[in-house]
Chain A
Amino acid sequence: DQQVKQNSPSLSVQEGRISILNCDYTNSMFDYFLWYKKYPAEGPTFLISISSIKDKNEDGRFTVFLNKSAKHLSLHIVPSQPGDSAVYFCAASGQGAQKLVFGQGTRLTINP
């Protein structure tokens, strides 16, 4: 039972344009969501998070949007840069629960 899903295994975007990565979840008890970026043979790097009491959180080029009714969140990167090429994981945790549930990841490639 995949509680957190990233349905796009890969995404290619031209440098300077907007990258939009999507994530869906099924567990309505999730109330904290995070995005991580991962390079091969390295640990994930925390990017940005959002609590369920918000619908948007912005940090520099990264913005996360949360649509609770649709159980959907998205990460917007603008403008996209070559260094953004990596695998992006969304993750969720539930009320009082400590552990994260990860999506399968989306490989983002930024083309020059």
Chain B
Amino acid sequence: GAVVSQHPSRVICKSGTSVKIECRSLDFQATTMFWYRQFPKQSLMLMATSNEGSKATYEQGVEKDKFLINHASLTLSTLTVTSAHPEDSSFYICSARDTSGTDTQYFGPGTRLTVL
């Protein structure tokens, strides 16, 4: 099956710093990637849709200036959490849409962000 990687898998940072998370589709090209956030014991919450070569589309309530998304190539999207605060601590997961076959989204392994 299609493989999506995320880096880093775990990051701890101080309040006020910025953190960049990378999402890569390893064996297919993805014009569209998605960024999710999962709170403990809850479902996945879509934050934004990342489109290669254009601006991301953010879901209602998600601050685009805080969660910067860049999708510079067909295999890489990045999410930067700017000026992180403890309430940004969460599990962030990306997915990539494989349009070459069944149009299925494949997910990365997730990144655990802890802001002290």
Contacts and interface: CB of A to CB of B under 8 A. Distances in A.
Nearest to A103: B43
B28 interface: no
Interface stretch (B11-19, B67-75, B79-87, B103-111): B103-111
Contacts of A89: 43-44
Given A36-B107, A43-B107, A99-B34, A105 B102 contact: no
A103 B94 CA distance: 17
Given A34-B104, A98-B49, A46 B112 contact: no
A26 to B, nearest CB: 16
A104 interface: yes
Q: Would you list the 8 A-B pairs with minimal beta carbon distance, nearest first?
A: A43-B107, A43-B110, A44-B107, A43-B109, A104-B43, A102-B43, A43-B93, A43-B108
11 contacts: A32-B103, A41-B110, A41-B112, A42-B109, A43-B6, A43-B95, A44-B107, A49-B102, A98-B49, A100-B34, A100-B105
Contacts, number: 47
Nearest to B5: A43
Given A46-B107, A99-B46, A100-B105, 11 more contacts: A32-B103, A41-B91, A41-B110, A42-B110, A43-B108, A45-B107, A46-B1, A46-B104, A98-B34, A102-B43, A104-B42
